[in-house]
Amino acid sequence: MKKLILSLIVLATLYSCKENVTAPKQEKVNYAVFGDSISADAAITEAKMLEKYQTLKEGDTVEVVFKSKIVDVCQKKGCWMNLALSDNESSFVKFKDYAFFVPLNAAQKEVVVKGKAFVSIESVDELKHYAQDAGKSQAAIDSILKPKTTFGFMADGVLIKK
């Protein structure tokens, strides 16, 4: 009888110490907040965002939150950034009402943006201006010869992973 009671105590102790393996651990990500405070919880991937862009026509907008990687940032003020959608597609992000900027050294960081996505046609002059802001060479700027259809985004809020 003593062995049975001792066995039950040992089993109860081991069971109470068991780690809960069924619940996945959520890694807490720290973000720097720019603009409106937003949540990263409902953010879609850049691949899903590219799919949304491909269904839009010029003049359409869609409210969305998506997560991506910053390709480059305006090197004068941090007033715009390009976010990766795929290896050869990106989204050009500006900030609502020019109310906030992002750090100039934010390139290659993970980002979450909330706002309105749209498709637009950028003029040659605008493209050259953006290339100059990005610090591109004069040869690269001079090579811009035709307008480009771009995937635009007007962000209300931005989260950049610390």
Q: Taking the domains of the chain in order of start, what are their residue ranges?
A: 30-161
Backbone angles phi, psi at 127, to 5 degrees: -60, -40
At residue 21, the pLDDT reads 47
**CATH number assigned to the domain covering 30-161:** 2.40.50
Q: What's the N-to-C CA distance of the chain in angstroms? A: 59
At residue 23, the pLDDT reads 46
Residue ranges in the chain modelled with pLDDT below 70: 1-27
* Rounded CA separation 130/76 (Å): 10
